[in-house]
Amino acid sequence: MGIKQIVKQLLGFYYSRRYNIHAGRGLYVGKDCKIINRGKIQCGDHTCLRPSTHVYLSEGAEVVLGSDCEIGNHSVISAVNRVEIGDGVLTAPNVYIADHNHQYEDIDSHIYTQGVRCRKGDRVEIGRGCWIGKNAVIVGNVRIGRNSVVGANSVVNRDVPDYCVVAGAPAAIVKRYDTALGRWVKAAGK
């Protein structure tokens, strides 16, 4: 094992203690990451938070990152309830994932003073093996199925089935994996 690997392991151990992260083996937390943990962060083996990633947990919130999961540079994960990212998920840089959104109903108050909108059971779930493209936004109470792809610059605000490619704002299915044909096919009307 080289010096670089030893340093990464030591930094992972340091961050897991400093930010109360329950981590498996091989946690990597890059330079300039910011973690505000008022809840519980759990990471599987070989989880990687690339440089300048920010993770925010409200009181009692949970963030679960699976094994062999990599969160791209400058990404943000924000949880009021729960954000769960499955094994083998890869995100590009600048991805935003949150289980909540801002309140805006009171027109006589500044939006930032109105708090967030998040029902008790709201959560984000990203299935194992997904790929989330650059600048994607995943917000609200949504589930993304396993081995699905979210295109760059897409906004996901509703559920995505397993084995789909979604793109756009709001994101819509552009391809599905057809098990009978054994290949990816364009969605109807695309």
In this prediction, residue 12 carries a pLDDT of 82
- pLDDT tens digit sequence for 153-186: 999 999 999 999 999 999 999 999 999 999 999 9
In this prediction, residue 190 carries a pLDDT of 64
Of the pLDDT bands very low, low, confident and very high (cuts 50, 70, 90), residue 56 is very high
Prediction pTM value? 0.92
Mean pLDDT of 120-143: 96
- pLDDT tens digit sequence for 6-42: 887 788 888 888 888 999 998 999 889 999 999 999 9
**The domain 3-186: what is its CATH number?**
2.160.10.10
The residue to which tokens 């493209």 are assigned:
133
In this prediction, residue 15 carries a pLDDT of 82
Q: Residue 102 in 3-state DSSP? A: strand
Q: Residue 117 in 3-state DSSP? A: strand
Of the pLDDT bands very low, low, confident and very high (cuts 50, 70, 90), residue 116 is confident
| Averaged confidence pLDDT in the chain | 93
Number of neighbouring beta carbons within 10 Å of residue 89: 25
In this prediction, residue 14 carries a pLDDT of 83
Ordered by start, the domain boundaries in the chain are 3-186
Q: What does 150-188 look like in DSSP terms, one character per residue?
A: E-TT-EE-S-B-TTEEEETTTTEEEEEEETTTTEEEEPT
